[in-house]
């Protein structure tokens, strides 16, 4: 019959699913009969050893395929942290990856760099691997090593982008928890090991921040040999932990 109108109904005739994709994802079914709540999960990867086997310690946590794309840049930034109990309380970091294709769509350049790195992470355990299966395609894979038993990492995506805009879902992300993934990274891939980014400063005067026995901070002038730098240390012990920022140089953490 035509021309029939309904002023109200208990629910929709057909339920619908609302889905969100992007930096976060989630879905919920709705039929109009009641309010619904959608739970969102931030886009990311999760890999590691699910038991005490370390036979195959390498895990692929992301990949990217470029087919004939000329002069393409792809970027992704992760917040990385250990999933099991962390004895160092500092197995975490911010990891950035960039890859670039040539005019022919083959490998031009790329890097995998830690913008922030905790003491519990070994940069050698995180690798960018690439190969050109043909003259018009480029395959990129990101791998991490979980060499110890009961070890794993979460990789929360902070951002993804190309050369001119932010975007999402360029990269395929993996969730693999098993006794081991792979003994080695595939031998037909060229490997680029992650490195630590450099933090620089242009200080003209020196500041030394010293913790006292009462856990207060005091400021003093900085003595030689670092005539222009920041030093943070514990003054309550002879051998403490220092943070040194030298002008135009690196952020250095270490004992004294």
Higher pLDDT pick, 157 / 229: 157
Higher pLDDT pick, 27 / 224: 27
**Domain segments of the chain: what residues?**
1-41, 44-196, 207-255
Pairwise CA distance, residues 82 & 153, whole Å: 5
What are 137-183's pLDDT values in tens digits? 789 999 999 888 888 999 999 999 998 888 878 899 999 887 767 88
Tokens standing for residue 17: 């699913």
249 CB burial (10 A radius; 0-12, 13-18, 19+): middle
Provide the pLDDT for residue 3.
65
- Predicted confidence (pLDDT) at residue 222 exceeds the cutoff of 50: no
Per-residue pLDDT, averaged over 39-58, amounts to 82
Mean pLDDT of the chain: 77
Task: Give percent of the chain above pLDDT 90.
Answer: 32
- Predicted confidence (pLDDT) at residue 220 exceeds the cutoff of 50: no
- Predicted confidence (pLDDT) at residue 245 exceeds the cutoff of 80: no
Per-residue pLDDT, averaged over 78-87, amounts to 86
Residues 6+ apart with CB under 8 A from 168: 21, 22, 23, 43, 157, 160
Residues 6+ apart with CB under 8 A from 195: 111, 112, 113, 114, 123
Q: Lowest mean pLDDT of 48-52, 82-86, 101-105, 239-243, name the range.
A: 239-243
Tell me how far apart the 2 most distant CA atoms of the chain are, in Å.
94
Residue 233 in contact with residue 240, Cβ under 8 Å? yes
Position 84 confidence tier, pLDDT thresholds 50, 70, 90: confident
Tokens standing for residue 48: 């590691």
Higher pLDDT pick, 62 / 202: 62
- Predicted confidence (pLDDT) at residue 217 exceeds the cutoff of 70: no
What are 106-133's pLDDT values in tens digits? 899 999 999 999 888 999 999 999 998 7
Per-residue pLDDT, averaged over 244-251, amounts to 50
Task: Give percent of the chain above pLDDT 70.
Answer: 70
Provide the pLDDT for residue 68.
72
């Amino acid at each position: 019959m035509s021309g029939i109108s309904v002023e109200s109904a208990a629910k929709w005739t057909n339920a619908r699913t609302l889905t969100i994709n992007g930096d976060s994802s989630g879905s919920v079914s709705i039929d109009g009969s009641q309010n619904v709540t959608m739970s969102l999960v931030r886009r990311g990867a999760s890999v590691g050893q699910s038991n005490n086997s370390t036979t195959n310690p390498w895990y692929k946590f992301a990949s990217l395929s470029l087919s004939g794309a000329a002069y393409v840049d792809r970027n992704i930034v992760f917040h990385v942290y250990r999933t099991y109990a962390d004895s160092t309380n500092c197995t975490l970091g911010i990891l950035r990856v960039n890859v670039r294709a040539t005019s022919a769509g083959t490998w031009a350049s790329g890097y995998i760099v830690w913008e922030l790195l905790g003491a519990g992470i070994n940069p050698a355990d995180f690798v960018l691997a690439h190969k050109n299966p043909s003259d018009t395609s480029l395959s990129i894979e990101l791998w991490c090593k979980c060499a110890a038993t009961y070890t794993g990492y979460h990789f929360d995506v902070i951002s993804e982008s190309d050369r001119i805009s932010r975007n999402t879902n360029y990269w395929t992300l993996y969730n693999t928890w098993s006794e081991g993934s792979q003994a080695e990274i595939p031998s037909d891939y060229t490997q680029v090991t992650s490195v630590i980014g450099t933090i620089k400063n242009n200080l003209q005067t020196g500041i030394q921040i010293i913790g006292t026995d009462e856990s207060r901070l005091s400021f003093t002038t900085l003595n030689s040999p670092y005539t222009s730098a920041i030093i943070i240390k514990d003054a309550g012990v002879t051998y403490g932990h220092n943070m040194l920022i030298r002008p135009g140089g690196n952020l250095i953490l270490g004992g004294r």
